[in-house]
Amino acid sequence: MMGDERLNDFKRRWQLVQYTECILYAFGVAGLAYLASQSFYLGILGFVVGMAVALLLFKPWKLSSEQTVAYVDAHVPEAGYSSVLLLMPPSELSNLSKLQRYRVAAQLDAVIPKLKPPHQLPMAAMVMFGLIMIGLATQFMLKEFQQNPKTPSTPQSIQFAPLDSVETNVAIPKLSSTKITIDQPDYTDIASVSTENPNISAVTGAVISWQLEFDGEVSNVRMDRMGEIFTLSQKNGGFNLSQTLETSGFYSFSFEDANGNKFVTDLYSLEAIEDQAPLVEIDGLDQYSYFEFDEVKQLPLNTKVSDDFGINDAYIVATVSKGSGESVKFREETIRFDGTLSKGKKQLQLKKLLDLDKLKMDPGDELYFYVEAKDNKIPTPNISRSETYFAVIRDTITDDFAVESTLGVDQMPDYFRSQRQLIIDTERLIKDQPNLSEKDFKFKSNELGFDQKSLRLKYGQFMGDETELQAAPGQVSSVESEQHEGEEGEEKDLLDAYSHKHDSDNEHNLVEEHEEHGEEGGEEEEDPLHDYLHNHDDPEESTLFEKSLKAKLRDALSIMWDAELYLRLYQPEKSLPYQYKALKIIQEIKNSARIYVHRIGFDPPPIKEEKRLTGDIEAISNYDKKQEFEYQMSFASSRKTVSRLQQLIQGSNFTEMDRVLFQNAGNELAKNAVEEPVKYLKVLQGLRDLDKSINRTKEKYGEVQKNLLSVIPQVENNPGKGNQYEDEINRLFINELGKND
């Protein structure tokens, strides 16, 4: 066999391997399609599609001789990278090339038959089996879903069954036509729907009409809706009934045939969907806004209103407060948004620029406003509103209280107005600096720094900072430093005459007291009640202010630190801006803590002058009532039903008492089923089926018992004394509660 024939044989084997890989991929796709759909035709289609895609990707027919020669040269050393000579005609080769061609052909005759072409058959086989396993898993899940669907397996059409009849061959008059029409409320703009599915879900207020037609003579066609019986009117050969859907619940139909036999349907659900109130959102606006008298006093109000069935109206309710104390006056007005309101839309983007000057507001006045929206619900629309927002024009006039012989004493704490006094004293010190000596100037600046520190500590009490911060590790207090200097004979502090003695003493006492407590605390055992008590020493545990006010007060304390620093460094002109910032934040805290309460009028009953101040109490009598309450377990009949079903499963006979018990259990569950009809539909239907003798089997008993256990809530704890384990932690905790009670 010649060398070129060997190369062609290797090329054909290489192409055969690639075609085999394409077939494996195609079989995998075909298996997945067939197992997932259970359709032979889809399986064939999957094979064709998979084969076509694989051929387009691999393209075995395009395998060239050059690729074959390159692979042989790379994997067969005997070829000497000269196998390409086998493809060339001998007439075009030189004598040396002919000799090399003969030598390579002799070598390849024994090697090429054993050379395996490159392939990915294991990978293709793994992909094929993987796709088949995915198809098997999909088929298994589809079967499980069909056997145990998540939604209740309720019938999609009305079906009648004989009631209290042991005869299974009773001829049931056939329901030839069923038409259920659902007319949604007009304001929803939802078209009427006709269906045969008896499980109905509609908006509250929808009108539902049933039209039933029978083949055969029937009478007394009725609807049982949560215990209420409604008789269907006979018209044009059918039985009709229309009702307005107000609440969720269940219903069933029943009728009698010509022989007096009664037939009844299963329970079907009625789900009333409530119309939700509009949702009002205001974007990019702080809840508290403050304006100076000389600035532009405008608030851009961007509001987004949405509703499930349409918006009817939206507006701003603004209340202006003037004055203070008993002379305060309120003026309320309604403000419309810019542009024309498009009624009936489900989403609206509304804008309004509130101008406080146009609202005739003066310095010191306050504005409270919110956005209110109404939907299209008839006859009574749903109304919702946004949060209340506040806008204040800062007052330009402040009153200072003084103690005179004829006036009362101002009871407001000093530290609520001492920051303003610090600013006045700092400005006076800066003004008098040219006329003061360096010693007096530094002394007064240091005194103001001490006053700033005292103010900061007083405000710190509201944040839970009940003591000054401890000294840094390794830091020596000023008093200890003085003692060491006295012992070693060193010079005294040059700033001693300018420093505040009480300041240093206080810090020394606080540090010393903290260190004493720290040493004692290290020797004591850990308090077992630590996790159960409210720690007021922790600033983050303080609950005197809401979070936003706490954050502002924390900022004010931080700024007071900077103000005190520059006063201690004898630079009051740098401390003054920080004092102004602290004062501004304190004023904002005071204004933010105000709460707006809408005024509600009260008309007292008229006073009878002939009875006033007479002291006549004959018409007044004492009232004393005693009543004993007996504890009743919730869902008592349902819990007894579970026990009775277990006895029926074990072989007990069905009695008339069981029928009454099952009816009572159904009535108990029906109260909760009004809110969640889909959840309770299956169990109520099972309890009702047990009235029929043909359904009284062990399997049916077990199914009803399982469904009943899934909806019965847990038993409430019966009040009473019970045995419980008491350890040292619980005992200490109870004793501590008793002390603080």
Q: pLDDT per residue over 224-249, tens digit each? A: 888 889 999 988 778 999 999 988 88
List the structure tokens of 315: 């507006």
Per-residue pLDDT at 522 exceeds 50: no
- d(CA 580, CA 576) in angstroms, rounded, equals 6
Stronger pLDDT, 22 or 73, i.e. the higher one: 22
User: Phi and psi at residue 96, in whole multiples of 5°?
Assistant: -65, -40
Q: What was the pLDDT predicted at 277?
A: 92
CB-CB neighbours of 59 under 10 Å: 11
Helix axes 677-689, 698-711, angle to 10 degrees: 150
Decide which of 738 and 19 is more confident.
19
Q: What is the band of 83 on the pLDDT scale with cuts at 50, 70, 90?
A: low
Q: Which of 35-49, 89-103, 510-524, 635-649 has the lowest mean pLDDT?
A: 510-524
pLDDT band at 354 (very low <50, low <70, confident <90, very high): very high
Q: What is the b/e burial string over 242-259, where b = at least 16 CB atoms within 10 angstroms of the residue's CB?
A: ebebeebbbbbbbbbbee
In this prediction, residue 210 carries a pLDDT of 92
Q: Return the pLDDT at 373.
A: 94
Q: What is the mean pLDDT of residues 483-503?
A: 44
Sheet holding 279-283, edge to edge: 279-283, 298-306, 347-355
Give the span between the Cα atoms of 626 and 199, in whole angstroms.
49
pLDDT in tens, 536-590: 455 554 444 444 677 888 888 899 999 999 999 999 999 999 999 998 888 877 7
Q: How confident is the model at residue 517, as a pLDDT?
A: 43
The model's confidence at residue 486, banded by pLDDT at 50, 70 and 90, is very low
Kindly state the percentage of the chain with pLDDT values over 70.
Answer: 71
B/e letters for 145-158, b = 16+ CB within 10 Å, e = fewer, are: eeeeeeebebeeeb
pLDDT category of residue 596 using cuts at 50, 70 and 90: low
Identify the H or E element spanning 503.
helix 501-523
Per-residue confidence at 700, pLDDT binned at 50, 70, 90?
confident
Q: Which amino acid, residue 501?
A: K
* Size of the chain in residues: 741
The model's pTM is 0.48
The pLDDT confidence band at residue 415, using thresholds 50, 70 and 90, is very low
Residue 169 clears pLDDT 60, i.e. is over it: no
Pick from 67-81, 262-276, 547-561: least confident = 67-81
Does residue 82 carry a pLDDT above 80?
no
Bridge partner list, 306:
279, 347
C-alpha dist (Å) from residue 524 to 516, 720, 734: 13, 39, 22
Give CA separation, 634 vs 433, 573, 682, 711, 722, in Å: 83, 75, 21, 13, 21
Residue 637: is its pLDDT beyond 70? yes
pLDDT recorded at residue 538: 52
Is residue 64 scored above 90 in pLDDT?
Answer: no
- Among 99-113, 326-340, 348-362, whose mean pLDDT is lowest? 99-113
pLDDT of 694 = 67
Q: What average pLDDT does the segment 286-308 reach?
A: 90
Task: Identify the bridge partners of residue 334 per DSSP, sorted by sequence position.
Answer: 317
Asked whether residue 490 carries a pLDDT value surpassing 50, the answer given is no
Q: Which residue has the higher pLDDT, 402 or 200?
A: 200
Of residues 113 and 306, more confidently modeled: 306
pLDDT at 304: 94
Residue 701: predicted pLDDT: 87
State residue 302's pLDDT score: 93
pLDDT at 516: 44
Terminal-residue alpha carbon distance, the chain: 110
Closest residue by Cα to residue 185 from 207, 152, 218: 207
Task: Report d(CA 203, CA 432) in Å as an integer.
Answer: 79
